[in-house]
Amino acid sequence: MTDLTEHEVLVESAAAPEAPVGRSTGWWAMVLFIATESATFAAFLASYFYLRFSAKGPWPPTGDKAPDLTLPTIATVVLVVSCLPMLLGSRLAARRSRAGAALGTLGALAGGAAFLVLQILDWLSEWPESTLSKDAYGSLFYAITGLHTAHVVIGVGMLAFLAASLGVRRAAARPRGPVMLVAMYWYFMSVVALAVYVTVYLSPTL
């Protein structure tokens, strides 16, 4: 076997694909998106506490219905617990188990759908004693819970699309990336759910 010339070595080195280094573009995009949305939710929650402690009189104001903890507690627990199948699916995706990743995604999807149903039922229980335009309390209550619910709807859509992609094998070759990105978003939604629960539902009872 003859040794390669210097020119041939340079040609082969140039033709060889480079291994990816560091985090993917999708990972950084999701991190930046979560950071931006974190600031948005933080501003809303800070506004809630500012108006609450600036208000003269009871909170919620007289005439508004105090939040019932039953439905929000169940909904929050369901959403947080749905992170477990998402975590399992993410780990199985790292092992290139398409079926396992799909099952984990569907488990998280079911938890998200249940949360949405419970949130709608909670809104119905609050109406019409507390409305969006009645006072500052009602405006903040529906704005904060509505903002979070809208993000959960987006997450449920992402989970549904991911599950469908895994089902038709489009994400079968390298499922880790897409599953990991959706999992990051879903964990973020669960953390926000806890913050919303403590702020909007639990704090008025303390």
Residue in the structure block whose two tokens are 């419970």: 118
Is 80 exceeded by the pLDDT of residue 170?
A: no
Q: What is the mean pLDDT of residues 24-49?
A: 95
Q: Say if residues 107 and 41 touch (Cβ distance below 8 Å).
A: no
Which has the higher per-residue pLDDT, 66 or 148?
148
Pick the CATH number of 26-205 from 3.40.50.300, 3.90.1150.10, 2.60.120.10, 1.20.120.80: 1.20.120.80
Whole-prediction pTM: 0.85
pLDDT digits (tens, 9 = 90+) for 41-80: 999 999 999 999 998 888 898 888 888 999 999 999 999 9
Of 186, 190, 187, 167, nearest in space to 101 by CA = 167
Cα 15 to chain center, whole Å?
A: 41
pLDDT in tens, 71-105: 999 999 999 999 999 999 888 877 777 788 889 99
CA nearest 177: which of 190, 160, 155, 162? 162
> How large is the C-alpha radius of gyration of the chain?
23
Burial class (CB in 10 A: 0-12, 13-18, 19+), 152: buried
| pLDDT digits 0-9 by tens, 99-147 | 888 899 999 999 999 999 999 999 999 888 888 888 889 899 999 999 9
Find all residues with CB under 8 Å of 179, minimum gap 6, and list them: 89, 90, 93, 101, 104, 105, 162, 171
